[in-house]
Amino acid sequence: MPNRKIIKTSKFQQIAIEVAKKIAIGDYPVGEKIKARSTLAASFGVSPETTRRALNILSDLHIVNLKHGSGAVVLSKEKAIEFIEDFESTNDIETQKKRILEKIDEQELQLKELKGLVSVYVEQTKLVNKKYPLDPYGLKLSNDSDLIGIPLQEAQIWHKTGATIVAIERKNELILSPSPYQSLQKDDIVYFIGDEPSYARMTNIFNLK
């Protein structure tokens, strides 16, 4: 599974957003001084360095004006609102991205589970084939084969195909375990056991393709 990272908002970015929201709703009116250490650090339970970095963001956006050593003065309510709207728009995109990636991860997990089920099915099918290897195939012969009229012993069918003939149906009569001297006739239905490749070889030597 790919290593996907979702970018999370840092603590100082979160504080910058919260301060901008307070400015937007008038809790911090234009012209008011916000003290980083006494006001913000205490309110958010963070270090003065974290609040300083938050105010630097707002200063860069001209929402506040930093006063060295004494905090910041609120400059613009409008720019605070604009900052919040931009952030929420970007955050919404990140949220959608996260949801999409989660859906992809879910689909990859479901696909992995499906592959597992297919593997189990294939293994079970192999076991069934091994459990019932004596279920015979049947082929109806035409007169196009060179083996018509030749005794089974001379036809050497097992040597050529790996199939073992267990019965021959001829005019509604079933000949079980035919002898090596039994010959095949047109319209016989030959019943034999073997693997799938042996079936293909049988159809080939009897020109039944």
Query: Bigger pLDDT: 38 or 198?
Result: 198
Q: What are phi and psi of 120, to 5 degrees?
A: -65, -45
96 assigned to some structural domain: no
* Whether residue 58 has pLDDT greater than 70: yes
196 assigned to some structural domain: yes
Beta bridge partners of 190: 139, 168
What integer pLDDT is reported at residue 205 of this predicted model?
A: 86
Q: What is the mean pLDDT of the chain?
A: 80
Gyration radius from the chain CA atoms: 42
180 assigned to some structural domain: yes
165 assigned to some structural domain: yes
- CATH number, domain of 172, equals 3.30.70.1450
> Which regions of 41-87 does DSSP assign to beta strands (E)?
64-67, 71-74
85 assigned to some structural domain: yes
112 assigned to some structural domain: no
Range of the domain at 38: 11-90
142-147 contacts, C-beta under 8 A, 24 or more apart: 142/186, 142/187, 142/206, 142/207, 142/208, 143/186, 144/206, 144/207, 145/184, 145/205, 145/206, 145/207, 145/208, 147/184, 147/205, 147/206
- CATH number, domain of 79, equals 1.10.10.10
Same-domain check for residues 202 and 147? yes
Confidence of residue 76 (pLDDT cuts 50, 70, 90): very high
Half-sphere exposure of 29 (CA within 13 A, CB side): 0
* Whether residue 2 has pLDDT greater than 60: no
Same-domain check for residues 78 and 146? no
Does the pTM of the predicted model rise above 0.75?
no
156 assigned to some structural domain: yes
Total domains present in the chain: 2
What integer pLDDT is reported at residue 142 of this predicted model?
A: 78
DSSP helix/strand/coil, 53:
helix
Same-domain check for residues 16 and 84? yes
Residue 163 structure tokens: 């199939």
Boundary residue ending a domain (30, 64, 90): 90
Report pLDDT digits (tens) over 159-169.
889 889 999 99
160 assigned to some structural domain: yes
Cβ contact 7:94 at 8 Å: yes
